[in-house]
Structure 1
Amino acid sequence: AACALHFAEKALEEIRAGNTKTWEPFTVPEEGIGVGFTEAVRGVLSHHLVIRDGKIANYHPYPPTPWNANPRDSYGTPGPYEDAIQGQPIFEENDREHFKGIDIMRTVRSFDPCLPCGVHMYLGEGKKLQKLHSPTQSVTGE
């Protein structure tokens, strides 16, 4: 909070001094490829851009969620979500037929994924993948 107040005061000083310009004029190149990376709250955010004939030919932002939700890599290393839930204690007291996976959902949601509120789980023993939309919905109830 102290940092936010400090920078808000600095911004107001700049505005009061007449420094209200928010961008600098620039010339768009005829051809170009660019990329920028920054650290966002949820992880790495990158922007990729291709310019052809002075116009944007391709632009793609890569937000943190695809990085965090990636599957295992070619070496079998789990992605961050899977890695976070491996070996996690399960405190839920429901029996197998009424298992809701709330501990797993809380762990995945702690990454603040930019996804619908659903976590996919496989319960083993031939049970198909179930999609849960809420901690109150039963895995076996459809």
Structure 2
Amino acid sequence: MRLIGFLSSIVAALSFVLPWFRLPWGGQITFLGILREILAGSNGFEGAFWWLNPNSTGTIFLFIAFFTGVFMVLVGILFGLLGGRLGPGIGVAGMLVFTVIAWHIYGQGFFGTLAEGYMIALLSFVIGFVAGGGKSL
């Protein structure tokens, strides 16, 4: 049963290259694009949220919470590759934090922007958590 947690983490990692969001004004953004903007963005904290809503008022608290969700997704993949249920569980929690913050910033039309990469990552984490079994790590 540890194989399911491992495979779900690989699928979630592969979803990083697929579009996670389709923006209403055109364009797509991948998880790798989100990471690049957070880690190497030259526009400061507000620049990390450009893909969500150009009119948003992201505060430092929202940025920290958003970064925490992104970090939890990455840690969930790492722990999932080591086997067990804890990795996909952390990934599900990270996706929840990531989604709540992005939904808060983007607004009610947020779910209309979701693309296949986001859905694949979320479903693979949920499947890995529910059917993963194995050790806690």
Point out the structure with the larger strand share.
1
Q: Which has the higher contact order (CA 8 A, sep 6+)?
A: 2
Point out the structure with the larger helix share.
2
Q: TM-score, normalised by structure 2?
A: 0.26
Larger of the two Rg values belongs to structure: 1
Q: TM-score, normalised by structure 1?
A: 0.26
